[in-house]
Structure 1
Amino acid sequence: MLYSSRGDPEAPHLLLSLTILAIWKVGSGQVHYSVLEEAKHGTFVSRIAQDLGLELTELVPRLFQLDSKGRGDLLEVNLQNGILFVNSRIDREELCGRSAECSIHLEVIVDRPLQVFHVDVEVRDINDNPPLFPATQKNLFIAESRPIDSRFPLEGASDADTGENAQLTYRLSPNEYFSLDVPTSNQQVKPLGLVLQKPLDREETPELPLLLTATDGGKPELTGTVQLFVTVLDVNDNAPVFDRTLYTVKLPENVSIGTLVINPNASDLDEGLNGDIIYSFSSDVSPDIKSKFHMDPVSGAITVIGHMDFEESRAHKIPVEAVDKGFPPLAGHCTVLVEVVDVNDNAPQLTIKTLSVPVKENAQLGTVIALLSVTDLDADTNGQVTCSLTPHVPFKLVSTFKNYYSLVLDSALDRESVSAYELVVTARDGGSPSLWATTSVSVEVADVNDNAPAFAQPEYTVFVKENNPPGYHIFTVSARDADAQENALVSYSLVERRVGERELSSYVSVHAESGKVYALQPLDHEELELLQFQVSARDAGVPPLGSNVTLQVFVLDENDNAPALLESRRSGTGGGAVSELVLRSVGAGEVVGKVRAVDADSGYNAWLSYELQPEAVNTRIPFRVGLYTGEISTTRALEETDAPRQRLLVLVKDHGEPALTATATVLVSLVESGQAPKASSRGSVGATGPEVTLVDVNVYLIIAICAVSSLLVLTLLLYIVLRCSALPTEGECAPGKPTLVCSSAVGSWSYSQQRRQRCALARVHRRPTSWPSARAFLLVLDL
């Protein structure tokens, strides 16, 4: 491949003349390519998508990124065909200087899933830089007295290229006085120089022009020249000589201003002015050296006057000369090599390359959250960086490639416990003392539907008065869902079941959003004492989750039933009138009759009291009624003057608010003992006299009491056997919470364990024995 001295290709087509080498390095995790510097825009490098195993159709959807690590846009990828091509001018010397190796490190990052590929593109050198001398002209002053084989050092040329393109050869224009001494090893120890082959004669040849040419090893080769003007001086024949030709000094980069670097020493065998030496930097020293160092012209001490930076330059080569004051002056030369020693003055730098947030709380362990890169400009141990993460978090850092770390999920997440994490990544180098840098990573945890709505308690007991209006608000259920957004949006519904012959939804309804429970119709305590049902709460997640709560609605009694009179076997007139035959011989305090009434209500509302109507109360009536028993008894012995027929009005009243009443009429007929009828099924007085009648009545009463008692005992035994043999369901008949208790002056009753058992029977659609039925049973015992 041929190039002109300016680096332009001689071949007609640059693409055909460039040799592009692509190498896939198996097993290393990297892809290597190479390209010649100065390649034109659009020059093909490689089919990078194919080499990385990526489909062309995936490049755009997977957010294909090419990061050139601060190298600009030298290389680019065509997302349509996956070809890596040269995008702008690549100058190897600008990129890497005189480094033997030069490459552009690329990072290829694709998402979904996250993948990182590392690509090295080697930039191959072409011979586009000719050798350059420090100056185009150099003046040499050489005394005529210098002996044969005297050597005069010259500053060699430099070539910005590398390899063979920087291998220089020198040639000197033909002359009879000087030959060129080219070193073959370390140029720092023995630089390029002129060797005197023939004694000089100032009178014969006062000046001698020479041309020094440097040629590199490239193809085509490039050359550089410097014009040498040799001025022949007279007499002063001893030049200053340094004790060493190369001085090596090591300085830390944070050395203070004014620090002594070295004091090179030169000596001159002459005396007087010819032996006085003046030290200085060589005339062709770079401005950078002059800005960092100063040399005392008398003592030759070199001190630091500028900032030293290892990251900017790791070594400084200082050409020094010692010139005597003779006429003509003679000079000696040496080189001071200052090696800059790195100190830990650069903290690590952390960069977040990619960040995938939020993270679902059910994400699998090992999920990559972020990709971080870390760099440190220092060298060796000072540039070795380790990264750590905030402790006690469900994440960890995993080293992936060189100075790359992946932030991955290390343990399970729970958004309800922690909804977001503020992570702090710390990068610390190995210097002493070490330097560090931190960066914050915010990781938000996204919710998934993993919590069902929860009620505060599994069961609620609600008391509602009967005869409520339709649409009456009974209770409000509320369930809390620990999730967020729609996963926490709770709706309520009834768990449908049958209550007796009807559906539950005909009794109650629940508002889907508020959870308010409404009674759709008036409730009747006498029909339904307990309404037990469940309300379901479900969230809006996918799939939805739910839970149930049980409501026990006790229907409280209101005084909506007036006392009802029971017909007596001795009632003969109908319409609530009771006829009683009473012997005039009955003494004071004897029970002669009884008013029997029941109330369909419960508690105080069913507690009855009996009293005579006020207009019937006077001193001439020898009867009174028991306040709570309804028994009619005599207040005194009956007299002949008492009317044979007595009409009593008994007021039966419950204890409700307001109280409801009923009126019973009792017709009392006073008879003589001889006029009493015989004993009959009604229990009237017999023909044999009062004594026989009383005996017959007592016999009947005893037989009735024994029969009823036996029936009661048999019923209780049968009830106990049935209850013990039945399997309890839903906690029925189990000890429950005590509820409403009603009490009065004559006794108490409650919704206790027996009431619980009746409620349990109600669940299998059996109504409990009502209070009116129980009272009727007691009245049978009285009869």
Structure 2
Amino acid sequence: MIWGVLLFCLVISAAGYQTQGRLPFFHGHIFENSPAASKVNGLSIPVKRINAQKWCPLSGLHFKLFGNGSENFRVFSHHKRGNVLLKTSRVLDRETRSEYLLSVGLCCQTCASESVVFEVALVKVDVLDTNDHEPTLLSADSVQISLDDTTALRSVVYRLEAFDEDSGNNAELRYTAVPKNGSFYVVPKTGEVLLVDSILGLLSTIKLYIYVRDHGWPPLTSKAVLVIVSPKRWMTRQADLVGPERAGRSPRALLEPSTVFSLNVTEDIGVGSFLMSLNPTRFQSAAYELIYPESESSPVTVGRDSGDITVTRRLDRETEPFLELTVKIQDKRGVLNIPPSTRAQVRPCNIPPPLLSFSPQLSALR
């Protein structure tokens, strides 16, 4: 019996750090930026699973961590529950390191360097992301855009890009513009700035602040980028503009050549009656907009997608015997769909490709 105990001690002394096959594996996690001494969540190693009494039958149990980054944790045993737990020894940053793979060693008596250590378990600790980085826009603080006022609707006039050093939902971004305006729309997921309404004849600049916000909690917002759009008017010849009424309007309001339709209707025609349709046009997909007179004062409307002219209020021949309408027709596909080599070929008489002008003359007679 004595010789058996001596032989066991000699084997222990020569063994040093011993590794066993098929070690039990345990997995836990900790949120980044958690204070030091925070417990690793989901990780609890039952002492029975590692069969500690097999290795240290005559002395107390002591545990030690090994592996790259083991100094960031400390291991201790919960005597009341008979479990081995891990706590952090410093604040962890996921962007620096997102996971740790460590070994749990068991020591008899002490865990001094000359003591025998038995590797009894493997542990993986994931460092989970917290929303601690605000999004960043890859753009200057302000952007100047000079835009032709005949640019086709739905054209992409600018595109913003942003990044976030977080991960998961914390890195999902949404672009927003302030203040809201009817001329431009910022696509939330892509950061594309689209022209959605006509800026024909607009003289003043349009300013909007664009920023990006993540989906984390609490959500973080980037610094705003100021986008300044300056409409550039497409000038026509001054000789084409005759009459005092037209002289006071924007030179771009009428284009030459124009297509004129003449239509006679009775003054007792009902509200909501259909007069005519400007469709089809030379565009496969067109948008129609009433330029003159303004929609608030006009007795008729033009359908934006259909081009149908309908009556919106009763007509009176004595008050308004003659009505002239100017309708702008714009290509929905946008000028970006036209190859650059053919753009010059689709502008006869200095007319930009996405625009035609119609001047239907509407007369109400008894």
TM-score, length basis structure 2: 0.52
Tell whether the 8 Å contact from 1:453 to 1:481 is kept in structure 2 after alignment: no
Alignment partner of 1:596 out of 140, 156, 161: 161
Partner SS for 1:589: coil
Which runs of 5 or more residues in structure 2 are unaligned?
6-10, 13-17, 236-334, 344-366
Tell whether the 8 Å contact from 1:453 to 1:482 is kept in structure 2 after alignment: no
1:424-443 superposed matches below 5 A: none
Alignment partner of 2:211 out of 632, 646, 651: 651
Distance, in Å, in 1 between the alignment partners of 2:125 and 2:33 is 14
Tell whether the 8 Å contact from 1:481 to 1:488 is kept in structure 2 after alignment: no
Partner of 2:37: 471
Partner SS for 2:58: helix
Partner of 2:63: 492
Partner of 1:458: 24
Q: How many residues align?
A: 223
Tell me the percent identity.
22
Distance, in Å, in 1 between the alignment partners of 2:229 and 2:168 is 32
Do structure 1's residue 660 and structure 2's residue 240 form an aligned pair?
Answer: no
Change (3 A) 1:361 1:453: farther
Partner of 1:550: 122
How much does 1:637 deviate?
2.8
Partner SS for 1:667: strand
Distance, in Å, in 2 between the alignment partners of 1:528 and 1:609 is 27
Greater displacement, 483-492 / 651-660: 483-492
Bigger relative CO (Cα 8 Å, ≥ 6 apart): 2
Distance, in Å, in 2 between the alignment partners of 1:589 and 1:577 is 23
Tell whether the 8 Å contact from 1:526 to 1:600 is kept in structure 2 after alignment: yes
Tell whether the 8 Å contact from 1:587 to 1:636 is kept in structure 2 after alignment: no
Distance, in Å, in 1 between the alignment partners of 2:211 and 2:170 is 16
Distance, in Å, in 2 between the alignment partners of 1:485 and 1:599 is 50
Partner of 1:564: 136
Q: Deviation digits for residues 65-97 of structure 1, max 9, x if unmatched? A: xxxxxxxxxxxxxxxxxxxxxxxxxxxxxxxxx
Distance, in Å, in 2 between the alignment partners of 1:648 and 1:694 is 30
Change (3 A) 1:483 1:529: closer
1:244-259 superposed matches below 5 A: none
Structure with max Cα Rg: 1
Partner of 1:617: 180
Tell whether the 8 Å contact from 1:595 to 1:664 is kept in structure 2 after alignment: no
| Paired letter, 1:470 | A
Do structure 1's residue 517 and structure 2's residue 86 form an aligned pair?
Answer: yes
1:663-702 superposed matches below 5 A: 663-672=224-233, 695=340
TM-score, length basis structure 1: 0.25
Distance, in Å, in 2 between the alignment partners of 1:455 and 1:516 is 22
Partner of 2:346: none
Distance, in Å, in 1 between the alignment partners of 2:98 and 2:107 is 29
Distance, in Å, in 2 between the alignment partners of 1:635 and 1:361 is 93
Tell whether the 8 Å contact from 1:471 to 1:521 is kept in structure 2 after alignment: yes
Do structure 1's residue 535 and structure 2's residue 85 form an aligned pair?
Answer: no
Tell whether the 8 Å contact from 2:149 to 2:232 is kept in structure 1 after alignment: yes
Change (3 A) 1:669 1:453: same
Partner SS for 1:463: strand
Partner of 2:51: 480
Partner of 2:265: none
1:229-308 superposed matches below 5 A: none
Distance, in Å, in 2 between the alignment partners of 1:633 and 1:533 is 52
Distance, in Å, in 1 between the alignment partners of 2:123 and 2:55 is 27
Partner SS for 1:554: strand
| Paired letter, 2:52 | D
| Paired letter, 1:630 | G
How much does 1:648 deviate?
0.8
| Paired letter, 1:463 | H
1:152-231 superposed matches below 5 A: none
Distance, in Å, in 1 between the alignment partners of 2:74 and 2:64 is 8
Partner SS for 1:604: helix
Distance, in Å, in 2 between the alignment partners of 1:562 and 1:554 is 22
